[in-house]
Structure 1
Amino acid sequence: MPSVERAFEGQPYHGFWGQVTVRAMLVAIVLAGLFSMVTLNIYMKVGVVGAFNMPINILSFVVLRSLVGLMRRCGIAPAPFTRQENIFLQTSTMTCINISLSCGFGNYFVGLFTVVAKSLSDNPDKRDIVDVTVGQYGFFLLTVGMVAIMATLPLVQWFYAGGDSCGFGVFPTFGLELYKRRFFFDFSTSFLGVGMIVPHVVNFGLLFGAIISGAILYPYLESKRGQWYITDSPSTLNGVNGYKIFMGLTMVVTEGIFNFITLTTALVIDFYKKTEENDSGAAKYILKHPSLNYDDRKRLEVFIGNRVPAIGGVIGYIGFAVICSVISHWIFREIQFHHLALVFTIIPIFIFSNTYGTGLTDWSVAPTYAKFVLFLAAASDAAPGAVIVSLVACGAAFMSLNISSQAVQDYKTAYMTLTSPRAVFAGHVYGIVIGSIINPLIYAFFDLKAKKTAPIGTPKSEFPAPYAQVYRAIALLGMGGVKELPKHCITFSFITFLMTLAIETLRLVSQRKDWKVQYYIPCMTAIALPFLSGPTFAVDMASGTILRLIWTKIHRQSAELYSAAVAAGLVSGDGIWYLPSALLGLFKVEPPICMRFLPSGKEVQIADAFLNNLGTQGMT
């Protein structure tokens, strides 16, 4: 393969301040403000936001090229932005947007307010309601964000979619019955492209989990409604959703803990050996792997030579966790020091599990972990004020998991581009600082914009924040403890735990013994994701694998050379379209047509009668 780094060999390598530049900081503020505005607008209206990674990266490139070109036309000859500056810029921007996605302005934070509490109960307990200022909350975002970053250091089709459930993205590929269970191909080129890159065993693990959950287990559990549970609401934990979340998280957390213990043991042994040999790690690794090409050798030298000491991450994590636990009592009166201290004690295991899963599948389940923490916190402190405690604990977990999973990917990008890990760390810190300022200001602007008769969080508001009620309802449910879960939920979770432990043990033994079966053992995290997020994206990613296999069968050489480029093009195309689509939504420009699929029979007759009636009214 051609060498990438030899093309840059003659160029000087800039130090820390050559990568963390003022101009990159200024552009980051502009891009972070723009995308945070769009993100929060969608999040507070709809409750769900797509990925901005690709459009941000592309827009960053366009802005930088345009800025340099404009300055040159004005007679100024600036040095072009280096790839290291670009990484710092993109890291800062994405960190700020990750705060937008996890700051709670569309769910748990609004769930603390009086208007949401009254929407669920006519006479809510005043001790479970708190209306904090966005300025105070900004300090909370800052400290939790810093905890999240410190935790990573030791690791290192718009036209036909004019309404809900419209367009090719909801085409019932496998029939309407499976479509109801979210088992269909949604024409997502992003996941199709990711599927072409992700290993086959992961993609087929996703598909296996989708079939087991969506086509076999859930239909069985739904048949038990009225016997094991009563509600059919998809947003509470005392119905079928309780089985989904607890079984899925059992698989993810069990595998995460297993890998965490395995990795920690290996790191301790490796650290002991390096201490005896007085070796920094890079030279020894290169000697052990003489087949490493020039690019990998160069990247190892830069990345390991500029790494942030792990001990700094540990000290920083403990320090900011203590600070956050202390100031939270000042912001939320019901929060005591031990509440968040306990969360920050156990959250590293969840961070490892979520980061591991995100690395395998490019899909973070931070919101699901957050709901799990929300339920546990409410159940463990079932007293007046428990709703506030659980929602704040949920927020701390949400931000920590979301930011840390993205941060590890940023370090991988830094490795590929010879960017100093210290510059990436600086980008994370800078992104958290500007995000803790920009996002509360945007929320305050939306709060002023909302009508006084329909404030944020109410159904008739311009910003209804629909998931705020869901998060508060889970907190209220959690106060009842485990007995509020559907019947046999814990039994199913225990069986899932034993199965995951057995499979992970078999995987570890087969790897140590070098058995061929190791290549066919499914990844439990991949199997678990369809339990938590539905099977749709699993179908897309498995389709990407099938395309790659067919391409390899037809012409292996071209598949090896161009499949990554094709996959990147699919992901980029989907990501580029998401930005104008979001902007159209921001300006309330709706698609002109809704294409929806209905089963034949009575529903079609009702739809035809309604449409015919509309035509008749138009003629009178």
Structure 2
Amino acid sequence: MALEIDASSASEMTSVEKDFEGSEVPKWEQQLTIRAFVVSFVLSILFTFIVMKLNLTTGIIPSLSVSAGLLGFFFVKTWTTLLDKSGYLKQPFTRQENTVIQTCVVASSGIAFSGGAASYVLGMSERIASQGDKAFIHDIKTPSLGWMIGFLFVVSFIGLFSVVPLRKIMIIDYKLVYPSGTATAHLINSFHTPEGAIIAKKKVKMLGKYFTLSFVWGFVQWFFTGGDDCGFSNFPTFGLKAYQQKFYFDFSATYVGVGMICPYLVNISLLLGAIVSYGIMWPLIEKQKGHWYDKSLSDDNLHGLQGYKIFIAIAIILADGLYNFIKVSYQSILGLSKQYKQKNSDTILPSNNTSEVPTSESLSFDDQRRTQYFLKDIIPTYAAVSGYVAIAAISIGVLPLIFHQLKWYHVLVMYIVAPLLAFCNAYGAGLTDWSLASTYGKLAIFVIGGWAGASHGGIVAGLAACGVMMNIVSTASDLTQDFKTGYMTLASPRSMFVSQIIGTAMGCVISPCVFWIFYMAYPDLGLPKTQYPAPFASLYRNIALLGVEGISSLPKHCLTLCIICAIIALAINGLKDIVGEKYSRFIPIPMAMAIPFYLGGYFAIDMCLGSLILFLWEYKNKANADIYAPAVASGLICGDGIWSLPSSILALAGVKPPLCLQVVSS
């Protein structure tokens, strides 16, 4: 699971569409330009490296849609300006084309998360299996570029077809907010007004400056990593004792940038989780070595201290996921009930198969104009249903060939229930901006893994089922977010759907290839205390192990501690909802607290530094901070993220850094 943080947007104070009333809206075919997809391909590679690096280090992924929209605007605007000056410009750059680029890039880079290369796919490998229960060492599937690409092509598109028939219900009838999609639409609309374009250029200049600084800093750091535990990232900032408990600043520009994007509460929750675990719990449990677990076991053994770290973190994550699943489901049912009761009284909007424009006086000029264009290019329901059935039939035949542990009837059952879960996730995301894709994936691990059984490859079957379910529900909510963005920028639903398909196809190739570069360049990838520990690979595999083996695999008193921590997580979530928004911003988030339980506090310190920079900036000049902080943060993330490509190539070529910077005790 990844903790994704998205910013919600403010409501429109004036009519946006009146500003664009004199601009011609291109046909849906004209919104899909070659230059848009060339730019999308380049940005998809950049963003996939960023998301993959985040997945392989901590799994905390901020929303990158703002960066995608901003960089998409910069590249194409530069392209069209040069062509215009030379007299060769045939088609001007529009906000609809900008929306197509953003949709394509987010769809492609999103596969780096839902594709599970750093989580359930790596969790199937022998590299991760060797860290756990040796009784299941043969229940593995070695990652391979061929089957990974094939698997993604089989499972990544079906979620798109599952929600297409519901697009009018979600966007127009129920008027779901989709905060991230709405925020992105406001951003793109603002870029294409005269005043907004000037600010956008300043933002891009700021992003480029910090992109360069971050990239150069990554290059400088590389020079000093020529050995084990070398480099600035291993500097004992607060002393050697704190360093041993993973409390230090690791000089990561990426996580300083992530900290500037994430809300203050997330970063404080991470730091609090690190203090509770590595500052209190683990030292106390370590004192029980020889009583609670065999003292001859290393700290990395699953039946030793490592078992407490992993399973307590899993307990908190599962409890938090369960609470939010119930909460979002309840809100969805309540919202559906209210919409159904109001349907006959105040809804006079056209049906899904008509292009009439609503004449209700309650609709603003913006809503009337947007509804007109949203219903103009119909995506036939029969095409969506036929596509779903065809892809499902192919998947039922192909997936058991890729994973022999996964049977055809497992896949059939998942595809029968998947449309309902996809709708629930898309509807919940529209209400809360919270995607529960990984929660549904973990549910599939338990159900399918337990169904297959320990003796019939239940671990790999459960992890594969997790991938199927995550891809369906994740792409479904992503597409409805994009429909909302398209609705507010007058981008055609057809161009959104085609862009999503092309972006998904790009991601099915780019994401495995980027992962393969990391996998081949770093032989210790996935191992604890390395540069890329891939924490969720171990967590997902151990969830599968728990599903097929039960609680017998837990160390002594671990179950008791898991139950206590899960109850505390549920209580904290309940308290946050009871006290309301005014006070809940002072109560930590259990999901965020759980991640340092396994990894330590070093990245939390980075992110808190990002929060401190943002706080001081807002204190000095809040207006400037609100405008330019996302650009600075994006530059820090993108520069350090893209440095991963040359550093991986150098590692593959056998080029080692020339120096080792290390601090040792006197």
Per the TM superposition, whether the score is higher than 0.5 is: yes
Kept after mapping to 2: 8 A contact 1:192/1:544: yes
2:374 is equivalent to residue 306 of structure 1: yes
Output the CA distance in 1 between the equivalents of 2:37 and 2:656. Answer: 35
2:317 is equivalent to residue 249 of structure 1: yes
1:91 to 103, 126, 130: 103
Bigger Cα displacement from structure 2, 165-174 vs 381-390: 165-174
Change (3 A) 1:351 1:280: same
Letter in 2 for 1:562: N
Counterpart position of 1:240 = 308
Change (3 A) 1:198 1:80: same
Counterpart position of 1:486 = 555
Counterpart position of 2:76 = 64
Number of residues of Structure 1 aligned to a counterpart in Structure 2:
573
Q: Partner of 2:24: helix, strand, or coil?
A: coil
- Gaps of at least 5 residues in structure 1 are 602-620
Output the CA distance in 2 between the equivalents of 1:592 and 1:543. Answer: 30
Change (3 A) 1:408 1:492: farther
Kept after mapping to 1: 8 A contact 2:329/2:424: no
1:395 to 467, 473, 482: 467
Change (3 A) 1:252 1:170: farther
Letter in 2 for 1:79: Q
Output the CA distance in 1 between the equivalents of 2:539 and 2:252. Answer: 28
| 1:204-603 pair list within 5 angstroms | 204-230=268-294, 231-232=297-298, 234=300, 236=302, 239-279=307-347, 298=366, 302=370, 306=374, 319=389, 324-340=395-411, 345=417, 378=449, 381-397=453-469, 399=471, 419=491, 423-437=495-509, 442=513, 474=542, 479-511=548-580, 517-518=583-584, 520-531=586-597, 534-550=600-616, 558-559=621-622, 561-578=623-640, 580-588=642-650, 592-598=658-664, 600-601=665-666
2:29 to 2, 9, 17: 17
Letter in 2 for 1:97: S
Kept after mapping to 2: 8 A contact 1:251/1:528: no
Change (3 A) 1:25 1:246: same
Letter in 1 for 2:95: R
Displacement of 1:275 in angstroms is: 0.9
Alignment TM-score, normalising by the size of structure 1: 0.70
Counterpart position of 1:145 = 156
Letter in 1 for 2:552: K
Output the CA distance in 2 between the equivalents of 1:522 and 1:49. Answer: 16
Counterpart position of 1:604 = none
Displacement of 1:564 in angstroms is: 1.9
Q: Map Cα deviations across residues 432-460 of structure 1 (whole Å, 9 max, x no partner).
A: 233335666x599989x989xx999999x
Displacement of 1:546 in angstroms is: 4.3
Q: Map Cα deviations across residues 45-72 of structure 1 (whole Å, 9 max, x no partner).
A: 9999988948766664454245435645
Output the CA distance in 2 between the equivalents of 1:300 and 1:175. Answer: 62
Change (3 A) 1:217 1:538: same
Q: Partner of 1:177: helix, strand, or coil?
A: helix
Kept after mapping to 2: 8 A contact 1:303/1:421: no
Q: Partner of 1:596: helix, strand, or coil?
A: coil
Q: Map Cα deviations across residues 518-551 of structure 1 (whole Å, 9 max, x no partner).
A: 5544444444444465434443444444455555
Output the CA distance in 2 between the equivalents of 1:243 and 1:77. Answer: 59
Kept after mapping to 2: 8 A contact 1:255/1:504: yes
Bigger Cα displacement from structure 2, 496-505 vs 340-349: 340-349
Q: Map Cα deviations across residues 80-138 of structure 1 (whole Å, 9 max, x no partner).
A: 32233123223223322333455456675577689999999999998x56689866654
Output the CA distance in 1 between the equivalents of 2:232 and 2:367. Answer: 43
Output the CA distance in 1 between the equivalents of 2:569 and 2:526. Answer: 42
Output the CA distance in 1 between the equivalents of 2:50 and 2:90. Answer: 32
Output the CA distance in 2 between the equivalents of 1:487 and 1:357. Answer: 42
Output the CA distance in 2 between the equivalents of 1:46 and 1:545. Answer: 20
Q: Map Cα deviations across residues 544-602 of structure 1 (whole Å, 9 max, x no partner).
A: 444555555x55xx31x12223421321221341355133214416655443343x23x
Displacement of 1:256 in angstroms is: 1.2
- Gaps of at least 5 residues in structure 2 are 1-11, 171-175, 179-216, 351-356
Alpha-carbon RMSD:
5.6
Kept after mapping to 1: 8 A contact 2:131/2:300: no
1:178 to 234, 242, 253: 242
